[in-house]
Amino acid sequence: MADGNGSIELAGLVKSYDGVTRVVDGVNLKVPDGAYCCFLGPSGCGKTTILRMIAGHEDPTDGEILIGDEQVVGLDPVERRTAMMFQSYALFPHLSVRENIAFPLRVRGAGTAERHKAADAMIEKVRLTELADRLPGELSGGQQQRVALARAAITGPRVLLLDEPLSALDEQLRVQMRQELSRMQRDLGITFVHVTHTQLEAIAIADIVVVMEKGKIRQAGPARDVYDQPRDRYVAEFLGGQNVLRGKVARIDGGSALISADSMRDVVVPLGAHGGVAVGDTVDFAIRRDDVGLSRPQAVSPESRAKVPSRVRSIEYQGNFVKVMLDDVGGDELIAYVPDRIFYLDPVSVGDVVLAGWDRDKARMLAR
Amino acid sequence: MSQTAVLPPARASAAPRARRRAPDRGGRPWTFYVLAALFVLYVLALYGPMICIYILSFQDVRGGLVFPMRGTSLHWFVDLFTQVRTGDVKGAFGRSIRLAAIVTVLTVIVSFMAGLAFRKRFVGDSVVFYLMIGSLVAPGLVLGLGVGLLCNLLGIEASWYGSALGAQLSWTLPFGVLVMFAVMSRFNAVWEEAARDLGASPWQTVVLVILPIIAPGLVAVALFGFTLSYDEFARTLLTAGSLNTLPLEIWSMTLNVTSPSLYALGTVTTIISFLIIGLSLGTIAWMQKRRARKTAR
């Protein structure tokens, strides 16, 4: 298996345990060699099952898995040249750090001196040299993770699969370790597939974010695309940072729709690629929370801005911005992230009547 | 004016409240002494009778079966192993040790395999489980009788290494399996998966991962197997055939030996039991120490 190509292709991947419900329901995806790919979704959405199928710990009910353009269903993890980092790290409690990391070499028949030499080189890479003789139970969570990473990487896999690698760590360490993961991925130059339910984690490190729901991919693409241009309500709400408003199309005017709902009248939203929208349809559109500005009702604003009258329900100071929660618009919450400096030029208070406004072309129609 | 002067004067400080808890100065509450006394009584009730036997076994040649002590010597211990009239203690002891060793080995092997088998659920697993545990509640004498009858029917002559071994396994295996379940419940299946992911064959997984992790649990199973076999009576009584095991020998001695050598035998077997337990615990401690030492290198 000389091919070092770690590109992954999933084609019509299906997994069902009982033959009725599909945990993974027809997933198609291409991950280029050397990419950092994050599967993002709530628990039970099938993301871990996909990971385990790529790893070879579970067989798909239907569909194909190609690694480096080679069909791998039915092959052992070793033959696939994948390595998995388990959620709880699965370090062997009876073996020292060095022996844990050398384990893959040991089962391949390497001699003690040879494998310890290789392990020590790896230990240095993950900066654990002074802990090489400790047992896993004597290490902190972050150190355990580095051992798991080193152990998975020592045989030079072409794909590294990480199952919720940061979930066992506290907040501060999580940020630190995700940088470390990113660094390791660049150092090793291999494909990383990372499963998480934390959107911040996903968009911070991934080249490709795959948003999943109920066994299906809702959207896959570069982190910024997925965050800034969510395809539908689910993706927008899961990634956060967006207001998703629902209303009825009152009129179609050129490339825009005029949308109305309770307390919202004739808000102009560009149709974009959603040409099939007709008058009377109920549609969702998204507007980023940091694109929403607040003004006093009497203030004049240019025609190019969409405006929704509302009232301040609560205010949270977040440091570099202020989170202003407004009264619901047609059953959807409306939140504005106002930059700290702008907010305090004319601070509003709870109960104030305000106009929430945004540039018309910033709003995005969502798929139904 | 200091700031505290603004506060209203504290009324409570003038008259102490009626019921105030005594401040905790690190002493023990009276309940500690009551419970400690209760525990001492419990220990006395547990070991008192046995201690009587141990003491009486050290009498000299004038010794009798009841207090008071008549002199002190090791006479009855010598008597135990030299006098023919006390029965074949030496032979019975040898048989019991050998039988217990065989039972231990079989119990450990079968329990380990059952533990592996029950890692995953399978069709009929609860039926298999209750069938295994069922023989624990069957009265030992009845079970022994059944084994004896069956051997008779099949034309197998009853012996300590044949029918008695089978009867004892029906007792030690369920126990061993139950202990093994407790051990396996703390074994994380993800270790196995990781081993496979890292390229270990199933055999390497067992030898390099599963066995080392659960080794202390296997020692516990062995200890159970040995002690249960070593003093098993009810199941062995009707299956041992013509040659007695130690518990059977002791029992027959209570019927016809009227000297403190009976007590001496009790002392000797207790010492052996303690040696075995000590050996097992020592092995577990040694395993853990070796593990620590290996990593401290």
Q: Give A107's contacts in chain B (Cβ within 8 Å).
A: 195, 198-201, 204, 208
pLDDT at B295 over 70: no
Question: How many other C-beta atoms lie within 10 A of the C-beta of residue B271?
Answer: 11
Going by their DSSP bridges, the two strands A208-213 and A36-40 should be labelled as: parallel
Q: At what angle do helices B89-117 and B246-256 cross, to 10 degrees?
A: 140
Instruction: Tell me how crowded residue B295 is: count the other CB atoms within 10 A of its CB.
Output: 18
Contacts of A55 in chain B (CB under 8 A): 197
Between CA B253 and CA B83 the distance in angstroms is 13
pLDDT at B137: 82
Confirm or reject contact between A168 and chain B (CB < 8 A).
no
Superfamily of domain A8-228: P-loop containing nucleotide triphosphate hydrolases (3.40.50.300)
Q: Can you tell me the distance from the alpha carbon of A272 to that of B140, in angstroms, rounded to the nearest whole number? A: 83
Alpha-carbon distance A317 to nearest alpha carbon in chain B (angstroms): 34
**Closest in B193, B294, B296 to A90, CB measured:** B193
Nearest to B199 among A78, A88, A90 (CB): A78
Contact criterion met (CB < 8 Å) for A92 and B297: no
> What pLDDT is stored for residue B37 in this prediction?
95
d(CA A272, CA A256): 8
The domain ranges of chain A are 8-228, 241-365
Considering the domain A241-365, what is its CATH architecture?
Answer: Beta Barrel (2.40)
CB A124: neighbour CB atoms within 10 A?
A: 12
Beta bridge partners of A211: A40, A219
pLDDT at B264: 84
pLDDT, tens digit (0-9, with 9 covering 90-100), for B184-224: 988 888 999 999 999 999 999 999 999 999 988 999 899 88
Give the residue on B whose Cα is nearest the Cα of A106.
B200
Per DSSP bridges, beta strands A159-163 and A191-196 are parallel
* Chain A residue numbers touching B190 (CB-CB < 8 A): 86, 88, 90
Query: What's the mean pLDDT in A302-317?
Result: 88
pLDDT at A197 over 80: yes
How far from the centroid of its chain's Cα atoms is residue A348's Cα? Answer: 34
Tokens of residue B162, six digits: 């044949």
Q: Helices B89-117 and B163-185, interaxial angle, to 10°?
A: 40
Is B295–A135 a contact, with Cβ atoms under 8 angstroms apart?
yes
CA distances from A140 to A134, A145, A170 (A): 11, 9, 11
Cβ–Cβ below 8 Å for A107 and B198: yes
Q: Considering Cα of A126, then A130, then A132, then A138, what sign does the dihedral take?
A: negative
pLDDT at B46 over 70: yes
> Does B256 or B108 have the greater pLDDT score?
B108
End-to-end CA distance of chain A: 45
The pLDDT tens digits of the residues spanning A13-71 come to: 999 998 888 999 989 999 999 899 999 999 889 999 999 999 999 999 999 999 988 89
Domain ranges of chain B: 49-80+259-297, 88-256
pLDDT score of B153: 87
Beta A293-295 vs A305-317: how paired, if at all? Answer: unpaired
Examine the pLDDT at B111 and tell me if it is beyond 90.
yes
Put simply, the answer to whether A86 touches B213 (Cβ < 8 Å) is: no
pLDDT score, position B3: 47
Among all residues of chain B, which has the CA nearest to that of A99? B295
Of B190, B208, B292, the CB nearest to A90: B190
Closest residue in A to B207 (Cα–Cα): A107
Contact assignment for A93 to B213 by CB distance below 8 Å: yes
State which amino acid sits at residue A78.
V
Q: Are strands A159-163 and A82-85 parallel, antiparallel or unpaired?
A: parallel
- Per DSSP bridges, beta strands A293-295 and A282-288 are unpaired
CA of B223 vs chain A CAs: smallest distance (Å): 22
pLDDT at B294: 59
What is the structure's pLDDT at B83? 64
Average pLDDT of chain A, as a whole number: 88
> Using CB atoms, which residue from A84, A93, A134 is nearest to B197?
A84
Q: What secondary structure letter does DSSP report for B4? A: G
pLDDT value of position A309? 87
Contacts of B291 in chain A (CB under 8 A): 94, 135
Residue A133: its chain B contacts at CB < 8 A? 295-297
> How do residues B112-136 score in pLDDT, each as one tens digit?
999 998 888 888 888 988 888 887 8
In this complex, is the C-beta atom of A59 within 8 Å of any C-beta atom belonging to chain B? no
Average pLDDT over residues A317-332: 88
Counting one residue from A and one from B, how many pairs have CB atoms under 8 Å apart?
Answer: 65
Distance from CA of A108 to the nearest CA of B (A): 7
* B175 neighbors B212 (Cβ within 8 angstroms): no
Q: How many residues does chain B have?
A: 297
Q: What is the pLDDT of residue A2?
A: 38
Contact yes or no for A57 and B195 at CB 8 A: no
Concatenating the DSSP letter of every residue in B225-243 gives HHHHHHT--HHHHTTSTTS
Q: At what angle do helices B246-256 and B261-296 cross, to 10 degrees?
A: 160
pLDDT at B5 over 60: no
Residue type at B293 in one-letter notation: R
Strands A321-329 and A305-317: antiparallel
For residue A107, give the nearest of B199, B212, B295 by CB distance.
B199
What homologous superfamily is domain B88-256 in, according to CATH?
Answer: MetI-like (1.10.3720.10)
Please judge whether B198 and A135 are an interchain contact, meaning their C-beta atoms are less than 8 angstroms apart.
no
Phi and psi, residue A215, nearest 5°: 80, 0
Cβ of residue A156 closer than 8 Å to a chain B Cβ = no
- Among A248, A203, A238, smallest CA distance to A218 is for A238
Asked if A135 lies within 8 A of B193 by C-beta distance, the reply is no
Task: Judge if the upstream peptide bond of residue B68 is cis by omega within 30 degrees of 0.
Answer: yes
Residues contacting residue A304 through CB under 8 Å, at least 6 positions apart: A359, A360, A361
Rounded to a whole number of angstroms, the distance from the CA of A344 to the nearest CA of chain B is 36
Question: pLDDT per residue over B59-107, tens digit each?
Answer: 887 777 777 878 788 878 887 777 666 567 778 888 888 999 999 999 9
Q: Which of A265-274, B65-74, B166-175 has the highest mean pLDDT?
A: B166-175
In this prediction, residue A64 carries a pLDDT of: 92
Region A168-183 average pLDDT: 87
Give contacts of B197 with chain A, Cβ < 8 Å.
55-57, 77, 83-84, 152
Which stretches of chain B sit within 8 Å of chain A by CB?
Answer: 188, 190-191, 193-201, 204, 208-209, 212-213, 291-292, 294-297
Tell if the CB–CB gap between B199 and A104 is shorter than 8 Å.
Answer: yes
Q: Note whether B200 contacts A107, CB cutoff 8 Å.
A: yes
Residue/partner pairs of B160-163 with CB below 8 Å, 24 or more apart: B160/B95, B160/B99, B160/B236, B160/B240, B160/B241, B160/B243, B160/B245, B161/B98, B161/B99, B161/B102, B162/B241, B163/B239, B163/B240, B163/B241
Kindly list the strands in the beta sheet with A242-253, ordered across the sheet, starting from the edge strand earlier in the chain: A264-270, A256-261, A242-253, A282-288, A364-365
Among the partner residues B198, B201, B297, nearest to A104 by beta-carbon distance: B198
Give the residues across from A209 on adjacent strands: A38, A221
Give the Å distances, CA to CA, from B220 to A5, B35, B102, B216, B269.
50, 30, 16, 6, 20
